[in-house]
Structure 1
Amino acid sequence: MFFGTYAPKLDEKGRIILPAKFRDELSPGIVMTRGQENCLYVFTTREFEEYYAKITQAPLTDQSGRSFSRMMFSGASAEQPDKQNRVTIPANLRAWAGLDRDLTVIGAGNRVEIWDSAAWDAYLSEQEDSFANITEEVIPGLI
């Protein structure tokens, strides 16, 4: 399980050092892909395989399912952290997420998300009021 917020820097070769608390789980290998709200999703290889199995259950006749799977899979890249716990973010994914030097990496339960720090700060600011004012059940069984 991934949680917490970290602020690594993107180096000149497009690499980040994985947060220490995530390394054990991510060191065997990861899959990075486009995420929603223009962040990147980072899955363990095993979690991505499970995600893949669920997504491919959508019927080919469902246009939303086709679009979602295209976005997820066409941007996916399998990566292996090096001995210094750095991982390269492919150029197409850096462009998708608008990543510059300052990054915010968050744990989001079953995945890690990589955000441009300014984009994360704006998102967080936008969401604070709606999060504070939730009065209905958003996730079944919670609140």
Structure 2
Amino acid sequence: MFVGEYYHSLDEKGRLIIPNDFRQLLGETFYLTRGFERCLNIYTITDWNNFSQIISSFSPTDNLMRKLCRFWFSGSIQVTTDKLGRILIPSFLIEYAELSKEVVIIGAGKHIEIWAKEKWEEFNKEENILENMNEINSKVAELWKK
């Protein structure tokens, strides 16, 4: 399970150090893809394959799922860390997530997210989880009943 929040710098070549705690769970090779909130997501090979299989199983006549498949697969790459624990983020993903020098790497349970520091701070202000706690608690309670 990926947990925690880490502040790192993206260098001028687009390289980013992945926190050691995360690297130990990821292994040397994993997938980097576009996230749904203008961040980047990192998945283990196993979780990547599982999710990819699920979205690939939908009917090719389903327009919405075709769009998801295009978004998912075209914006994804397999990456390997170098000796220093860095990955090279391609420019199209840097542009998508609007990454600059300061980034935040967060654990999000089964995956990791990479955010531009400003976007992460903005997201946390807009999506104030505490304001939605009653709704969240009721959803969690439903899951516990199952």
How does the TM-score come out when normalised to structure 1?
A: 0.92
Q: For residue 67 of structure 2, what is the aligned residue in structure 1?
A: 67
Aligned pairs (5 A) from 1:1-143: 1-128=1-128, 129-134=130-135, 136-137=138-139, 140-141=142-143
The structure-2 alpha-carbon separation of the partners of 1:138 and 1:58, relative to structure 1 and needing over 3 Å to count, comes to farther
What is the aligned-residue RMSD (CA, Å)? 1.7
Residues 67-93 of structure 1: CA deviation (Å, up to 9, x unaligned): 111101001111100111011111100
Q: CA deviation at 1:100?
A: 0.2
Give 1:53's aligned amino acid. Q
Supply the distance in 2 between the matched residues of 1:15 and 1:41 (Cα, whole angstroms): 15
Gapped runs of 5+ residues in structure 2?
A: none
Give the match's secondary structure for 2:114.
strand
Post-superposition shift, 1:50?
1.0
Structure 1 regions of 5+ residues with no counterpart? none
Verify the 8 A CA contact 1:3 1:108 in the aligned structure 2. Answer: yes
Deviates more, 1:26-35 or 1:123-132: 123-132
Task: Report the CA distance shift for 1:17/1:53 in structure 2 as closer, same or farther (over 3 A).
Answer: same
The 3-state SS of whatever aligns with 2:70 is: helix
Q: Secondary structure at the match of 2:2?
A: coil
Partners of 1:34 and 1:73 in 2: CA distance: 9
Measure, in 2, the Cα distance between the counterparts of 1:90 and 1:11.
12
Quick one: distance in 2 between partners of 1:26 and 1:121? Answer: 26
Which has more helix, going by share of residues? 2
Deviation at 1:130, TM superposition (A): 3.7
- In the alignment, the residues of structure 1 paired with residue 38 and residue 140 of structure 2 have an alpha-carbon distance, to the nearest angstrom, of 22
Q: 8 Å contact 1:6–1:106 — kept in the other structure?
A: yes
- State the distance in 1 between where 2:64 and 2:144 align: 27
Partners of 1:131 and 1:88 lie apart in 2 by 36
Aligned residues: 143
Q: Percent identity at matched positions?
A: 34
Shift of 1:136: 3.3
Question: In structure 1, how many angstroms separate the alpha carbons of the residues matched to 2:77 and 2:24?
Answer: 20
